[in-house]
């Protein structure tokens, strides 16, 4: 196998045979294919795409590059959820303990923030002491004890994906539907789950801004996972405006805790219950989504899912006191109001808010950048609200006055005012199964 021949063939739009692609991928793992050659392949795959046969090979090789979890068939059904990334998306922090409280097993392996979108691991690490780097044996023990566990990808699970993911982040190849699909599905299949729900974000704050593209990505992932024996559905959810009322890691943890208490913003609750209901039905615990959502909503309102989250925090080394005393979470020293520049109906642009949060330090420009858990935005009004000139729209939580001022300039471009109210848009756009 000559790597340059493989690269030339893919560059020119050719289809790689299963043997060719498998040899190239294995060569990368074994050191026979250099990092720069794999970077070239990722760019060629981004531009030329991968057909269904190539995608199947990529998925298979990624899964088989590491270990696969196995759960006893007589135990609780193992399920998981994945989001393609949004702004203010803290659904996983609510969904995992909620489904565990409902009697399911949730072995959740999550990622860090990418571009303008936030990451579940960064949010969890805003809880003092919370450890997301957990070996597989400990992961299994936490699952037995709590019913859910939330960790980062381990070196044992799909190590090929871990290496490719890091390269994609720095080579401009993140938004490739084929690469996204293989990355997500490989990790989920290796988790040993029996059911999966995909939250495919669509809109100006998502990686997939076009609904047709989002639908195609969802269909690809559903088909890939189903072919591996995982019952899978996908919800296309709107990501034009931030989800919930906070953007920034510690702030989003607070909002997730409020939601687990039966409070929290309506949009976050709606998306969480819709995704949770899909898994509840797939696991055979409810006859249909409406019944599942009602049952899960009652659990959320009871507060018992919050108690489950407290146990998870404690078992993974975090400070459970943050639940009753949010002041124990990291807090920014500077808080500046952002006021409405005029009167009208408010429209908040999710992607621009996400980029402003990165500028503030809540996200990363490069994989090696540190994240400041304290900083972010707390919205008091949101898209669809009628506001008056000078009214406080949000509070900027910043490390210093200079960064707060810079964020304010960024936010000015993210806020639009209209003389007419916007047409109402549904949060759940479509279901694909």
The pair of structure tokens assigned to 178 is: 């084929």
Across the strands, what pairs with 387? Answer: 344
Round to whole Å and give the CA distance between 376 and 363.
9
Backbone phi and psi for residue 191, each to the nearest 5 degrees, phi listed first: -70, -15
Round to whole Å and give the CA distance between 362 and 371.
5
- Pick from 356, 404, 430: nearest CA to 200: 430
CB atoms within 10 A of CB 370: 7
Round to whole Å and give the CA distance between 261 and 255.
10
Alpha-carbon distances of 20 from 6, 7, 54, 108, 182, rounded to whole Å: 7, 11, 10, 33, 18
Do 378 and 395 form a contact (C-beta atoms < 8 A)? yes
Do 123 and 93 form a contact (C-beta atoms < 8 A)? yes
Q: Which residues are catalytic?
A: 82, 161, 168, 183, 187
Q: 13: alpha, beta or left, given left = phi > 0 and alpha = psi -120 to 50?
A: left
Specify the 3-state DSSP secondary structure of 197.
strand
H helices of 319-360, in order, are 350-360
Backbone phi and psi for residue 58, each to the nearest 5 degrees, phi listed first: -60, -45
User: Tokens 């072995």 identify what position?
Assistant: 107
Q: 314: alpha, beta or left, given left = phi > 0 and alpha = psi -120 to 50?
A: alpha
Round to whole Å and give the CA distance between 98 and 308.
8
Round to whole Å and give the CA distance between 140 and 156.
13
Taken in order 19, 20, 25, 29, the sign of the CA dihedral is: positive
Specify the 3-state DSSP secondary structure of 123.
helix
Do 127 and 252 form a contact (C-beta atoms < 8 A)? no
The pair of structure tokens assigned to 218 is: 């969802």
Q: At what angle do helices 177-190 and 159-171 cross, to 10 degrees?
A: 150
């Amino acid at each position: 196998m000559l790597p340059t021949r493989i690269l030339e063939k893919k560059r020119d739009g050719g289809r790689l045979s299963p043997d060719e692609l498998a040899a190239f991928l294995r060569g990368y793992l074994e050191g026979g294919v250099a990092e720069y050659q794999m970077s070239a392949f990722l760019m060629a795959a981004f531009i030329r795409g991968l057909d269904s046969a190539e995608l199947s090979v990529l998925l298979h090789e990624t899964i088989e590059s590491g270990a696969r979890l196995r759960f006893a068939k007589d135990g609780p059904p193992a399920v998981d959820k994945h989001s393609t990334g949004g702004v203010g998306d803290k659904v996983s922090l609510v969904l995992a303990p909620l489904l565990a409280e409902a009697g399911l097993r949730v072995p959740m392996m999550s990622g860090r923030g990418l571009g303008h979108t936030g990451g579940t691991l960064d949010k969890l690490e805003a809880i003092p002491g919370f450890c997301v780097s957990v070996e597989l044996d400990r992961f299994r023990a936490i699952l037995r004890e709590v019913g859910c566990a939330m960790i980062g990808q381990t070196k044992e699970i799909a190590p090929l994906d871990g290496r490719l993911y890091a390269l994609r982040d720095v080579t401009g190849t993140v938004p490739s539907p084929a690469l996204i699909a293989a990355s997500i599905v490989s990790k989920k299949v290796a988790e040993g789950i029996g059911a999966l729900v995909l939250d495919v974000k669509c809109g100006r704050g998502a990686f997939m801004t076009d609904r047709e593209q989002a639908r195609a990505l969802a269909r690809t992932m559903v088909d890939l996972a189903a072919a591996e024996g995982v019952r899978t559905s996908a919800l296309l959810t709107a990501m034009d405006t931030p989800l919930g009322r906070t953007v920034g890691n510690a702030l989003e943890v607070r909002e997730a805790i409020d939601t687990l208490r039966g409070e929290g913003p309506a949009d976050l609750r709606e998306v969480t219950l819709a995704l949770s209901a899909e898994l509840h039905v797939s696991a055979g615990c409810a006859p249909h989504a409406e019944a599942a959502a009602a049952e899960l909503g009652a659990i959320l309102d009871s507060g018992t899912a919050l108690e489950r989250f407290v146990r998870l925090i404690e078992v993974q080394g975090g400070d459970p006191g943050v639940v009753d005393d949010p002041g124990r979470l990291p807090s920014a020293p500077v808080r500046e109001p952002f006021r409405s520049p005029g009167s009208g109906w408010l429209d908040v642009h999710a992607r621009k808010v996400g980029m402003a949060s990165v500028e503030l330090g809540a996200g990363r420009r490069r994989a090696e950048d540190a994240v400041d858990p304290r900083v972010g935005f707390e919205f008091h009004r949101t898209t669809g609200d009628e506001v008056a000139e000078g009214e406080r729209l949000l509070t900027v939580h910043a490390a210093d006055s200079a960064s707060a001022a810079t964020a304010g300039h960024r936010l000015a471009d993210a806020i639009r005012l209209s003389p007419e109210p916007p047409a109402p848009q549904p949060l759940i756009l479509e279901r694909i199964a």
